[in-house]
Amino acid sequence: MDQDAALETAAGVAEAVAHGKLTARTATREALDRIIRVDAGLGAMVHISAERAIDRARQIDEGPAAGALQGVAVALKDNICRIGEPTTCASRILTGWMPPYDATVVRRLEAAGAVLLGKTNMDEFGMGSSTETSAFGPTRNPWQLGSVPGGSSGGAAAAVATGMVQVAIGSDTGGSIRQPAAMCGVVGLKPGYGRVSRYGLVAYGSSLDQMGPLTRTVTDAARVLEVLAGPDPRDATSLDEGEPWTWQPSSIAGMRIGVLTRLTEGAGIQSDVAEALSKAMAWYRDAGCTLVPVEMPELEWAIPTYYLLATAEVSSNLSRFEGMRFGLRRETEELGSTIERTRSEGFGAEVKRRILLGTFALSAGHQEAYHGRARKVRHLIAQAHDRVFREVDVLLSCTSPTTAFPLGSRLDDPLAMVLSDVATVGANLAGIPALSVPCGFDRKGLPIGMQLQGPRGGETRILDAGHAYERAHPWWMARPPVAWDLQPLAREVRA
């Protein structure tokens, strides 16, 4: 790997800073400069903390070695709390809200030496698959500005793809890290439920949400997970497995890879995506892996199950935003009408739709018929995954059945938008880890993503499989036409 490419990765920057070849201040100024020159055409960032970031970089340069992410530029999705920085979830209803506490992931990133630059754009409260429902306006795909970047962590994916930051932290409720990673040609890792503390993440679907990294490489994703993973007394759902989670790449020879046929070559899978996956599977076979066709009929019900459960949790979690304690308040003479007006003006159409669906699913006379049945089907889906992982080590599929679609093309068709998540929601329902790795480009030059899923606690397996493929197919080194005519960071590196 050449020096320029290495300095586009978290590992490369951290190593250069640690060995005195690069200062954290130089790396931070380069990142901020790139944001200023590039982001006006993308809309990836919604808040930039330039002075705070430069001051933090100075502290890193003047202090002792800070950790695994020393000097690495990181952006946070706009639903992750940080003291002194707006957290709006890309919604009008949280306009101007400043959290009084840091998320656990924020504290761990800073302890590892990361420099936090600001917040990235997202679908409002994470509800969407295209980053078009944001109150700040849409984010554009850096590979083709007329296309979506995926969602809801589309701003995070675009920021990493264009080199604004080496790492972005997103959240994933039904695919919101992996799907935009696939559409923007970067790596996206959704850890298993409980691996990373959710403290400080504004809740969408509490039993489904998980935070994780978007990076240029699999190695970077693993490095960030090592920093973020671990129990947290502030989050009762976080896992305590005794030993800290770490990763060292291992050989994949002999690995059993289950191929979800309906999500690699079935109906609805774009031909370019199917072709890229077929080539990837052939490579795994040549690398000594055993490919096992897998049918999981339970996944037919994953989308309706997910949307019933997620919207039910939305109706509960978003009830706290009523204009009394957070953000926007539209005052009237009566309390009830103040709440009604605030929520009416503060929430966007997609959020209102999901609140209504969830409230209906939980309402008297309907709860057992809808939400109760969805809970039972979720259990069956989780059991199906457990059963399959007794036979295979990793599951392989597409991340998204299509590459990035044109901006605006699905906004008036909620069902088509929902189907963008057909390959990803199963991992959230089952609580298992999943990784999206770039695996090629379609005929229009848009990135394609391959998804690797593992059993509970199986992050190591999917990272091994993704890393081996990436080393043989360094798609991450391809650069989108936006922003990459800029001088590389390497020009500031000391010999």
Query: Given a cut of 60, is residue 487 above it in pLDDT?
Result: no
Model confidence band, residue 241 (pLDDT cutoffs 50, 70, 90): confident
Q: Which range (299-313, 362-376, 466-480) has the least confidence?
A: 362-376
Q: What pTM did the predictor assign?
A: 0.95
Q: What is the pLDDT of residue 266?
A: 81
Q: What is the pLDDT of residues 258-301, one digit of tens each?
A: 999 999 988 899 999 999 999 999 999 999 999 999 999 999 99
Rounded average pLDDT over 51-65 = 94
pLDDT at 414: 79
Output 364 or 27, whichever has higher pLDDT.
27
* Active-site residue set: 77, 152, 176
Give the span between the Cα atoms of 374 and 378, in whole angstroms.
Answer: 6
Is the confidence at residue 215, as pLDDT, over 80?
Answer: yes
What local confidence, expressed as pLDDT, does residue 3 receive? Answer: 60
d(C-alpha 364, C-alpha 105), whole Å: 38
The pLDDT tens digits for 110-120 are: 999 999 999 99
Name the residue with higher pLDDT: 466 or 66: 466
Distance CA 127, CA 151 (A): 8
Across the range 334-353, mean pLDDT stands at 91
- Under a CB-based contact definition with an 8 Å cutoff, are residues 90 and 181 in contact? no
pLDDT at 495: 31
Checking if the pLDDT of 130 tops 90, the result is yes
Q: Buried b / exposed e across 195-204, counting CB within 10 Å, b at 16+?
A: bbbbbbbbbb
Average pLDDT, the chain: 94
Q: What is the pLDDT of residues 436-471, one digit of tens each?
A: 999 999 999 999 999 999 999 999 999 999 999 999
